[in-house]
Chains A and B, each alone.
Chain A
Amino acid sequence: MPLDSSTYALAHLRVDGRRWKELRRIHGQMSTQAAADGSSYFEMGNTKIICTVLGPRQPTKSGGRDQSREAIIEVEIGVAGFSGMDRKKRSRNDKRTQEMQYTISSAFASTVFTSQYPHSTITIVLHVLSQDGALLAACINAATLALIDAGVPMQDYIAACTTGSTASYASNDEDADPLLDLNGMEELELPFLTMGTSGGEDKVNVLVMETRIQMPRLEAMVSVGLDGCKQVRNILDGIVREHGKKLLSSR
C-alpha cells in the first residue's frame, strides 16, 4: 500500500513528488501521421493520446442531405483496452465516452470558424493509448494540436487541464490546497474539475466537474485552473512554433 493523498499535509508534496501548482511533464508532437489531414501525439504525464483530424470534407453519411450552414464537428474516441490498469474494453456506446465526445465537439464548435465550411464535417479521432488522469484535458489539447496541423481556421487554442483539492468532500477541510493537474491516483481519491480556456484565460470553453466540492473551495480551484490552462497554452504554443520552424527549414 503506497502512501496516498492524505500525506500531502505532511510536507506539501503530492503522491508523485510535485507541489500543488506544478503541471506534469507535457510533451507533444504534430504531424505524426502523414496520411491524415492533421495529426498529433500528446502526453500529459502518463496519459498518452494520438489524435487525427479528417476534413473539412463532405459528410460521408448517407441519407438526408445536410443543409446546415456550418461545419459539423464529429468526435470519435477510442480507448485502447490496455490503456488503463486493468485490461478493459470500452464499447463504442459507453456513456462516459459519449459525454466526452459531446464535450469536445461543443468546445471546438465555439472556437473553430465553422461557418466557413457549410455542408461539411470535421472529424476528430482520438485514440487513448494510456490513461493516468486528466483524460478529457489531454484529449482537448491533442485535438487542438491536430486541428492546427490540419489547417482548420480557429480563433485560438483551447488549452485544458484539471484542478483538484487536497481534501475529499466529506472531510470538509477549509485549509485544503487546490491542486493542479491530477494524476490517475489523485483523481480516484480527490474531488476535481476539468477546464479548458482559450485566449489566454479570457474565455472558458469547457468546465466539467463530476465530484462534489464545497463552494468556498471552488473559487481557489478555478483560479488555479485558469493559471494552469495558461501554462498549458504556452506549452502548446511552443510545440506549434517548433513544428512551424521545422516545416520552414525543411522547405
Chain B
Amino acid sequence: MSPVDTARSTAAAVRAGERSARSVVEAHLGAIGERDGELHAFNLVTADAALAHADEIDAQVAAGHDPGPLAGVPIAVKDNLCTAGVPTTCSSKILDGWRPPYDATVVQRLRAAGAVSVGKTNLDEFAMGSSTENSAFGPTRNPHDTSRVPGGSSGGSAAAVAAGFAPLALGSDTGGSIRQPAAFCGIVGAKPTYGAVSRYGLVAFASSLDQIGPFATDVADAALLLEVISGHDPLDSTSIPKPPLSLSSTLQQGVEGLRVGVVKELLDAEGIHPDVASRTRAALEALEGAGAKIEEVSVPAVIYGLSAYYLIAPAEASSNLARYDGVRYGLRVDAPTTGEMYDRTRTAGFGAEVERRIMLGTYALSAGYYDAYYGKAQKVRTLIIRDFEAAYERCDVLLSPTAPTTAFELGAKADPLAMYLNDVCTIPSNLAGHPAISVPFGSGDDGLPVGVQIMAPAMGEATMFRVAAALEGARA
C-alpha cells in the first residue's frame, strides 16, 4: 500500500497555496497509471478533465478564492453516478455509448467543494453483486492480494482508495455495497441514513434501499466527504429536508458513557469466520476500554433480512431496469419486430446476475404472487425496523461484523446463494433505512483486513462516526 495523505491535509495544503492541485492530481494519475492495469479499479480515467479542473482550482487559489473544503482532492466516482458528457456505464453493455446530459447531485456538490474527479470506477453490473466480478468489463482485484476480490458492488471505488489512486471515492450501497468492499480493502466506508444523500443521478438498482456514501482511508475523511454530499435536495422526493450532516466537529468526543450493543444474531450468523468474530469481540473490548458500556442485544428479525432483501431489491430492480429496452439510448440489437428487438437487446446487454435478479423480481411482483413475496418482504422490513427501535432504546449504536469473511479469491463464490450470504450483516441497515459504517480493525490469520460495522438509528450519523473514530483510535 502506498501511504497517502489524507483528504484533509491535501485540501488544507491546496487552500493555503502550499501545494498545487495539479501536482496532487498528477501524483494520483501517476499511481493509477502504474498499477490500475493490474487492479482495474477504473472503467474510465478522465485524466485531461481532471488536470484541467485542477488548474481551475489553482487559479481560484491564486485569485484569492477558496475552492472549498475538498480543494484539489482527487476523488474516484462509482460508474453508476451520472456525470455530464462522461460515459456512465454501470459496468453494463446495455448502456453502451450513453453519456448522461446531466451531473448527479453528489457530483455537483463535489465540484462545488473543490474535489477533482479522476475517473469512473468499476462495479458489479448495475451494483448487483458482492465481488465486482459481475462487471461486463472484467473484475477489479484487491490491492492487498490481487488473487482476491475487492468486494462489491463498489469494488472499484474501494480498490482505488486502498491502492492510493485517490484519497476519497463515492460508492452506492443497496445491501452492503460500500461497507463490504471497504472491509475487504481495509478502508472506511459508510452508508448514510436513507434520504440523507440525494439519489438524483444515481442509476437506480433498488430505489427504496439505494444510498450513496463515502470511502476514505480514515474516519475523519469519510466524515468530511459525507458532510459535503449530504443535505436536502429538492430533486429527490425521498431526500430528508435537513441541512448537511455535521460530523467533523464532534468526531473526537470519545465514547465515554455511550452504550454499544453487539447484535447477537449477526455475530452468531451462519458463515461468520472465527477470525472475523474474534476481531469483532476485540473491537467491543477496545470500545469498552475507551469508556463505552457494552452489552449483547437481540434484533431477532434480522435473520429474515437476507430473504426479504432478495425479494424487495430484485422486484424494484425489475422495474428500474425495464427502461433499457433499446428504444432510446444505449445498446440496441435490431430485429424484425419491437418485441424481438426488446428480447435480443436485453439478452445481449445484461449479464447473468442482472438477468437472474430481473427474473426473480418480475416473478415476485406477478399477479397472484405479490402478497406472498413482495408484500411479505415489506412486512419483514417493518419487523426489522421495530426490532431495531427496541434495541436502540437500550443502545446508542450497534456493532457487528461487516462481512462474514475476509476477501475471498476470484471465482470462489460461483454459487449465487453463497455470494448472497456475504450481505447478511449489512442488509438489515438498508432495509431499515439506517446508517452504518465499516471501520477496519486488524486482520485475519490470512493477513487480510477485517472490517467491523457500527450501526445507528436514522440520522444518528454523528454518534456513529464518533464511535468509528474511537475504534479507529483504539486500533493503533
A-B complex is real: no
Interface residues of B (CB under 8 A from A): none
